[in-house]
Amino acid sequence: MTVIDTDYLVVGAGAAGMAFVDSLVAESDADVVLVDRRHGPGGHWNDAYPFVRLHQPSAFYGVNSRVLGNNAIDEVGRNAGLYERATAGEICDYYDAVLEEHLIPTGQVRFFGMSDYLGEAAGEHQFVSRLTGTTTTVNVRRKVIDATYFETSIPANHTPSFDVDVDAQMIPVNDLVSLSGPASGYTIIGSGKTAMDACIWLLDNGVDPGTIRWIRPREAWLLDRAFQQPLQLLTSLIEGLARTLDATAHAESVEDLFRRVEACGQLVRLDPTVEPTMYRCATVSDNEVESLRLIENVVRQGRVIHIGTDQIKLEHGTVATDRRHVHVDCSAAGLRTEPDRPMFEPGRITLQQTRTCQPAFNAALIAYIEASRDDDADKNRLCPPNRYPDTATDWIRGSLLSYRAQAAWYAEPDVTAWMEASRLDAARGINDHLDDPLMLSALGRYAENFEPAMATLDKLLPQSA
């Protein structure tokens, strides 16, 4: 058995774990041991389906020390006019480079891949190699960092909740690119971003929308990606926030709130006739929405119970199918919605989100707060947990907590300075746009409506539970 000492033991080398370690190393001389069950860093991106891309611009994803991509605006394609979004392969290469070219050369970080963390016993932590079976004991001087609390459920390792006849064709979304012949039709199973990606990929590869059936148990609120843009397009992001606060400040009920936020372009739904009950932070472009609406065969009869060779049984009905029909499972949960727990505890940090739906930024900020403050109560004040959303009305809670945390950060000069220097903060660089009348207008409306909007969200939060 091997015994090693470290200041911080970080369990999980996905987006959150990597952003935390990168920020901690930049802000301190701490020694870090990073453990992951996969062969390299990048977390779920190592198992992602081939055609997946980031939901958000690459310009504010990854780690602070290294740019992802070229900070370029796409000129053609479905994302034209918006900042580039990296592919899974690009993201995996990026994290490999961060680890091998930056973190390990600092001398502060040791990485143990293909290793399972076993937990703590009698004050000692252990992990075991998946290849050799060797157990390593880790004496942790400061804290263990749990970067797996919100580990993503992805199609590659997802077990469907429904049964499938042996002669029926059902594949995970990853296997779409491996099909060797045409099908009588395609049934996409799932309501989220993976299902949307699958539909777009089929359409982009010439599949007639009339041959695509989409089983959507829930309808989702989506974010318009045009208002999630940084750097040169930052004015659009601030304008989006100003519109949201204006709409929120004047809302009189939960229903009225969503109507207003939709009317100002901040929330989007694929079918204007169906009330969304789901919100998972997914973003779409106008081009994608237009294409997805071409798929008219949308089944809303609940979740799939069983796929047979001649029919699909759902919670509230059945639909016909056949042996040549390809059923594509996109029902993995994606973001996990675990209960909140204190971010900072004695001997432990549990990485969670504070600003809604930005895991890399949150993890980097948590590392800065850990390095710059001593009192856990003060750290928790600045980093309140804000669990991932699932239902439509979770948008209310998530927004309220995000805005409150943002106000607390801006009251701390050092945190404000750190955010302005952080490439992971989508809103950095506002001062560079103060000669733009549209930016000045958006900032004015943001300030004017902030407190009334917070009061409205406070009032509506109990009604949304």
**CA within 13 Å, CB half, 224:** 20
Residues in the chain: 465
CA distance 325 to 179: 12
What tokens appear for 60 in the block? 């504010």
Q: Could you tell me which residues are beta bridge partners of residue 306?
A: 163, 313
What tokens appear for 443 in the block? 């900032």
CA distance 233 to 238: 9
At a CB cut-off of 8 Å and minimum separation 6, what does 313 contact? 304, 305, 306, 307
| Phi, psi angles (nearest 5°) of residue 117 | -75, 130
In this prediction, residue 113 carries a pLDDT of 98
Q: pLDDT, tens digit, for every residue of 271-308?
A: 999 999 999 999 999 999 999 999 999 999 999 999 99
- Average pLDDT of span 209-217: 98
Contact 458, 400 (CB under 8 A): yes
% of the chain with per-residue pLDDT over 90: 92
Domain ranges of the chain: 2-152+335-416, 155-219+269-329
The secondary structure of residue 55, as a DSSP letter, is S
Residue 336, pLDDT > 80, answer: no
155 pLDDT band, cuts 50/70/90, is: low
CA distance 196 to 212: 12
Q: pLDDT, tens digit, for every residue of 433-449?
A: 999 999 999 999 999 99
Q: pLDDT, tens digit, for every residue of 91-108?
A: 999 999 999 999 999 999
Contact 306, 319 (CB under 8 A): no
In this prediction, residue 238 carries a pLDDT of 98
Number of neighbours of residue 130 by Cβ within 10 angstroms = 13
Residue 65, pLDDT > 80, answer: yes
Contact 263, 248 (CB under 8 A): no
Q: pLDDT, tens digit, for every residue of 393-445?
A: 999 999 999 999 999 999 999 999 999 999 999 999 999 999 999 999 999 99
In this prediction, residue 465 carries a pLDDT of 67
**Considering only the top CATH level, what class is 2-152+335-416?**
alpha beta
Residue 220, pLDDT > 70, answer: yes
At a CB cut-off of 8 Å and minimum separation 6, what does 87 contact? 51, 52, 53
At a CB cut-off of 8 Å and minimum separation 6, what does 229 contact? 57, 82, 83, 236, 237
> What's the fold here for domain 155-219+269-329?
FAD/NAD(P)-binding domain (3.50.50)
Q: What radius of gyration do the chain's Cα atoms show?
A: 23
- Average pLDDT of span 28-55: 96
Residue 371, pLDDT > 80, answer: yes
Residue 335, pLDDT > 90, answer: no
123 pLDDT band, cuts 50/70/90, is: confident
332 pLDDT band, cuts 50/70/90, is: confident
In this prediction, residue 264 carries a pLDDT of 97
| Phi, psi angles (nearest 5°) of residue 370 | -60, -40
Assess whether the region 2-152+335-416 and the region 155-219+269-329 belong to the same CATH fold.
Answer: yes
At a CB cut-off of 8 Å and minimum separation 6, what does 443 contact? 238, 242, 430
463 pLDDT band, cuts 50/70/90, is: confident
User: Any idea which residue has 């009251």 for tokens?
Assistant: 411
Residue 172, pLDDT > 70, answer: yes
